[in-house]
């Protein structure tokens, strides 16, 4: 499979993966999810000669600004919402369960699916320009790619509940204080340098021990909550509020929710 939305470069055993849809603020569409699946599930799944992956977003504005809303609307009829959420979760599980460390370097917006993508990575480095958020309730939705589970795992139930229910964005320093970001750097170049430093360090350790450590860490968390998220996401896409929310987003106006 040739990559259209991913740029791949290898340097000294480290794979630099850039999500490249800058005109769409790197929004996740079906093609991008398929390419991520191909990368983590096939092309690099057996690559034991690498130290890890550094994931970034192209351009100055966003890591990944969310899902592709226009594509989203056409994919949520009937039971499409649950299928869509399960698809995103399955791809993100490939990242979380990857045999080498994956570090996201976030510059600009990491919202909705973009925040969920960053959380699926093993570590996150935020630049001062980074902005995190789960704004799905603005669309009459809930996070569907693992956000209700991983945000709680990373920052705790109380603050995760607040951020999901208010759709508030937080900056890099707050993300670091809460434990969402491992480090904060001045800019993207410094963020990539920090990620490289970490992967060079982990790359000097026993490869089997690194892989088994990741397996054991992932085993701590149950997947039952992810199943509940899929079901809840599917139900939310069948509501009038969802239709109003996404229509208002596309039309750039405030949504008028009716609770139906």
Please, are residues 19 and 57 in contact by the beta-carbon 8 Å criterion? yes
Has residue 38 been placed in a domain?
A: yes
Please, are residues 189 and 102 in contact by the beta-carbon 8 Å criterion? no
Percent above pLDDT 90 for the chain: 78
Of 116, 174, 244, 251, catalytic: 116
Has residue 43 been placed in a domain?
A: yes
Of 35, 37, 96, 136, catalytic: 136
Has residue 218 been placed in a domain?
A: no
Has residue 48 been placed in a domain?
A: yes
| Annotated catalytic residue 37 | no
Which domain does 93 fall in, by range? 6-186
From 53, 60, 58, 47, select the one nearest 104 (Cα to Cα): 53
Has residue 140 been placed in a domain?
A: yes
At 163-193, the pLDDT tens digits run: 999 999 999 999 999 999 999 999 999 999 9
| Annotated catalytic residue 46 | no
Has residue 103 been placed in a domain?
A: yes
Has residue 74 got a pLDDT over 80?
Answer: no
From 203, 201, 199, 189, select the one nearest 56 (Cα to Cα): 189
At 95-149, the pLDDT tens digits run: 999 999 999 999 999 999 999 999 999 999 999 999 999 999 999 999 999 999 9
Going by C-beta distance under 8 Å and a sequence separation of 6 or more, which residues neighbour residue 76? Answer: 84, 237, 242
The residues facing 132 across adjacent strands are 110, 170
Which CATH number do you get for residue 83?
3.90.226.10
Q: Report how many domains make up the chain.
A: 1
Separation between Cα atoms, residue 189 and residue 105, nearest integer Å: 9
Residue 241 confidence class, pLDDT cut points 50, 70, 90: confident
Phi–psi pair at 179, nearest 5 degrees: 100, 5
Has residue 166 been placed in a domain?
A: yes
Has residue 233 been placed in a domain?
A: no
């Amino acid at each position: 499979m040739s990559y259209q939305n991913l740029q791949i470069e290898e340097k000294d055993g480290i794979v630099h993966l850039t999500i490249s849809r800058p005109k769409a603020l790197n929004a996740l569409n079906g093609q991008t999810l398929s390419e991520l699946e191909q990368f983590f599930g096939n092309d690099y799944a057996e690559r034991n000669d690498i130290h890890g992956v550094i994931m970034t977003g192209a351009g100055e504005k966003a890591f990944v600004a969310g899902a592709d809303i226009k594509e989203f609307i056409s994919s949520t009829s009937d039971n499409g919402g649950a299928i869509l959420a399960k698809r995103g979760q399955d791809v993100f599980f490939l990242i979380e369960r990857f045999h080498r460390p994956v570090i996201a370097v976030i510059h600009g917006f990491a919202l909705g699916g973009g925040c969920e993508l960053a959380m699926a990575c093993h570590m996150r480095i935020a630049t001062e320009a980074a902005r995190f958020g789960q704004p799905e309730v603005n669309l009459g939705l809930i996070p569907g790619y693992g956000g209700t589970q991983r945000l709680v795992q990373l920052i705790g139930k109380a603050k995760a509940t607040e951020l999901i229910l208010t759709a508030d964005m937080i900056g890099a320093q707050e993300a670091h204080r809460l434990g969402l970001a491992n480090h904060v750097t001045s800019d993207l170049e410094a963020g990539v340098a920090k990620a490289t430093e970490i992967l060079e360090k982990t790359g000097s350790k026993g490869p089997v021990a690194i892989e088994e450590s990741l397996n054991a860490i992932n085993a701590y968390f149950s997947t039952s909550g992810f199943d509940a998220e899929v079901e809840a996401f599917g139900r939310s896409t069948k509501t009038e509020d969802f239709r109003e929310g996404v229509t208002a987003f596309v039309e750039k106006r405030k949504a008028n929710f009716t609770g139906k």
